[in-house]
Structure 1
Amino acid sequence: MKLEDQNILFLTRTMKLGGTENVVLQLCEIFKPLVNKVIVCSCGGVNENKLKEMGIKHYIIPDISEKNPHSIVKTIITIKKIVDKENITIVHSHHRMAALYAELICDKSIVKIANAHNTFHDKKTLTRLAYRNTKLIAVGEMVKKNLVEYYEIPSEQVTVIHNAIKPFEDKITIDSTIEKLHQDGYFVVGNVGRLSEQKGMEYFIDAIPAVLKQHSKTKFLIIGKGELEEELKKRVADLKVEDAVIFMGYRSDIQNLMSQLDLEVLSSLWEGFPLIPIEAFSVGRTVVATGVDGTLEIVQNEENGLMIEPRKPDQIAEAISRFIEDKNLKDKCEYGAKKSYEKEYSFDKFAEAHRDYYRRLLEKS
């Protein structure tokens, strides 16, 4: 089977903002010039506009996370019609339920691939069923370990391909807020992510008073939107640090912003293989990051960042203060961060790995 003859369906839950959706967009960019056609199915989101700009057909389907029988039947019928209509030859899933639907719908002539983006410890039977006849791409070694050890997926069924970020090659667009803070002599710390439980933003906020006690000329930017926004703003108010914290809201120019920060903090409670530290590395910025799952594969303590335990505001504060006080350490970690990006997480390497992976699978089909 030749790659150029394939009709690929990327099946994912949403095309909203997030790491999984970003990977789908990257794969569309990689394979659109190489295959007959690329199709995406999801329940929609703001990234539909990017698919349109790329000339990728997008089908709206029901939310694949819905578990009620009516939704399941409707989703099966909808996806089956798309697979038949578009003569799909490869289904590449990006959610466990997406992989399950592919397993239920596709005959043996269709190649099934699924990305595992996170570590889980639930739904063991469902997961094993979903991945039964599917080749798996784990975004990191910890994700593969989770699949093999917890879900008992054969190791040879799982290939690790690290997530990646395209290099930031645009001219920096100066952010007036950050520019003014630097002009006033502030050290600017950012935390980028969805304002949700996973990202541990409350622990970042709880660390702020301790940093300010030692380094009053520090400002903290929270960049993102999410369901915990009002709760986090109340926490800031309760700690009486409103003057030190700026909620920036959603921004699409993350690498542009990161290039203007002094430091990035990743306070997550769990991660499969996070993109935020890689985005920071791509613009030569170092990070303070919690030692969870895939983050442990990316951040090497005192080489390209500082590693801390999750749910430990005192450790966040101490690490931020170390970078403020020790310019040599900060310079060393920023140099290491850029080297890590170039060696391990470049988009070119990501693209090459996926092209080779597809070609190997098709040779065996």
Structure 2
Amino acid sequence: MSGPIRVLQVVTYMGRGGLETMLMNYYRNIDRTKVQFDFLTHRNERWDYDDEIEALGGKIYHLPKLNPFSKSYLNALDEFFKEHREYQIVHCHQDCLSGVILKVAKRNGVRFTIAHAHSASQDKNIKYLIKVLAKKNIKKYSDQLFACGEEAGKWMFETDNFEVINNAIDTDLYTYNLEKALEVKRKLGIENKFVVGHVGRFNYPKNHKFIIDIFNEVQKVQKDSVLLLVGDGDLRPEIEKKVEDLGIKDKVKFMGVRSDVNDLMQAMDVFLFPSLYEGLPVTMVEAQSSGLKCIISDKVPPECIMTDNVEQIKLEESPQHWAKEVLKYEKYERQNTKPEIEKANFDIKTNAKWLQEFYLNKY
């Protein structure tokens, strides 16, 4: 065989979400002369990571939105695998609907299929029942089950027979540096401020409404406080309106989707993460690698706690209680926590080497 083996990663799109950032961390750190990633997406638009993917040698294919009941979608999926017999390893990141993709892949002769769980629940919307029923098909069409954490794997696959793939990061990029922190604060115009931060898509599980309620209580006590919200999503307009209605618009910075999350974390003093549910969030790995104090909900899996800098609080507690805990760390002096992250096996170099060898052994 000449050239690298090509592994097809199946995603919704390659924006700067947790799943996509995890994939890019692995992609940047594998030996691409041996293993190359290509991406099958379910949107036609270009997204944040597309330019980098192509620069690294990856191909991006587009299908319509994933709909297990759409004949035209299933035909397009079938046609794709008929046309692309070169993909003998398909790694699917479509959570509950992964079985839909992998069934068609198997029917078209794909030798090795992988389903990867990234969440320990789903939004309780109109699609919930469909997804819960659909996930029962995943094991039937998967040769390997991967999960970002124990809770996500058990929920998605309803078995213990899966392998945890850590949401690993480049720890060098996140190591705390006081000079860098001061420089970023100066650039953002928040010198001498107490900075509360959050990184996450503006969607239901991230619980942005509660983040605003907590920060509203924080700023009543500490007037020199600011909230950095990094990310974008469907619920952003609703959150912007809530901030305006509370009269705290001048204290909340909507940063949008950013490529410099590592720098922004340098400028934060406390990382606030009151999620309703999670798999194993890559942002928690990043925040701890930055030496940040992390105040998180009891719904975030405890396996993501790698340092002594994390405090879990019950979601039922009031915003005032949460704010009181946040304010404890106004004067906290951050430390270099890189050794702890590496000891917990969340450094990308080791993990990327493992995944690379896994693919090569299965090809």
Q: Cα offset for 1:49?
A: 0.9
1:170-249, aligned counterparts within 5 Å?
A: 172=180, 174-175=183-184, 180-182=189-191, 185-249=192-256
Which residue in 1 is equivalent to 2:312? Answer: 307
Task: In structure 1, give the amino acid aligned to 2:342.
Answer: E
* Deviation of the 1:100 alpha carbon: 2.4
User: Who is 1:139 aligned against?
Assistant: 148
Structure 1, residues 195-229: CA drift from partner, whole Å, max 9, x if none? 22221111111112322232222121222222222
Q: How does 1:273-284 map to 2 (within 5 A)?
A: 273-284=280-291
Whether 1:127 aligns to 2:129 is no
Give structure 1 regions of 4+ aligned residues with deviation exceeding 6 angstroms. 2-5
Of 113-122 and 164-173, deviating more is 164-173
Q: 1:94 aligns to what?
A: 93
1:263 is matched with which residue? 270
What amino acid sits opposite 2:310 in the alignment? G
Aligned equivalents of 1:52, 1:215: Cα separation in 2 = 46
- Name the aligned partner's letter for residue 95 of structure 1: Q
State the secondary structure of the residue aligned to 1:225: coil
Name 1:64's counterpart in structure 2.
66
Gap runs ≥5 in structure 2 = 123-128
Q: Kindly tell me: are residues 318 and 339 of structure 1, through their superposed partners in 2, closer, same or farther at Cα, counting changes over 3 Å? A: farther
Cα distance 1:90–1:196, how it changes in 2: closer, same or farther (>3 A)? Answer: same
Q: C-alpha distance in 1, partners of 2:99/2:3?
A: 24
Say whether 1:353 aligns with 2:354.
yes
How far is 1:259 from its partner? 0.9
After superposition, what is the alpha-carbon deviation per residue over 1:100-157, rounded to whole angstroms, capped at 9, x for unaligned? 222223256611112111113653442121331411111111112224xxx433x33x
Q: How many residues align?
A: 343
Partner of 2:125: none
Conserved 8 A contact 1:208-1:241: no
The 1:168–1:66 alpha-carbon spacing in structure 2 relative to 1, beyond 3 Å, is farther
Distance 1:39 1:201 in 2: 33
Identity of aligned pairs, percent? 24
Distance 1:311 1:231, change over 3 A: farther
Deviations 1:236-286 (A, max 9, x none): 122222232222222220011101221211122111110111111222222
Alignment match, 1:118: 119
Q: Relative to structure 2, which stretch is displaced further, 335-344 or 221-230?
A: 335-344
- When residues 303 and 36 of structure 1 are mapped into structure 2, their CA distance, relative to the original with a 3 A threshold, is closer
SS at the partner of 1:259?
helix
Which range moves more in the overlay, 308-317 or 137-146?
A: 308-317
For 1:309 and 1:191, the matched residues in 2 are separated by: 18
1: CA distance, partners of 2:7 / 2:100: 17
1:316 paired with 2:322, answer: yes
Change (3 A) 1:50 1:226: same
| Residues 262, 236 of structure 1: alpha-carbon distance in 2 compared, 3 angstrom cutoff | same
Cα pair 2:184 2:266 within 8 Å, conserved: no
Q: Is the 8 A contact 1:190 1:222 kept in 2?
A: yes
Counterpart in 1 of 2:169?
165
RMSD: 2.8
User: Equivalent of 1:49, from 48, 51, 54?
Assistant: 51
1-side partners of 2:65 and 2:257: how far apart? 23
Cα distance, 1:315–1:353 mapped onto 2, change above 3 Å: farther
> In the alignment, which residue of structure 2 is the partner of 1:75?
77
Distance 2:359 2:98 in 1: 19
Check whether the contact 1:40–1:58 (CA below 8 A) recurs between aligned residues: yes
> How far, CA to CA, are the matches of 1:194 and 1:94 in structure 2?
17
CA contact 1:118–1:273 (8 Å) conserved in 2: yes
Deviation digits for residues 286-340 of structure 1 (CA, Å, limit 9, x no counterpart): 211112243x21236x92222112364233212211112xx4xx34xx4485443
**Structure 2 letter corresponding to 1:315:** H
Higher mean C-alpha deviation, range 97-106 or range 126-135: 97-106
Alpha-carbon spacing, 1:179–1:133, altered in 2? closer, same or farther (3 Å): closer
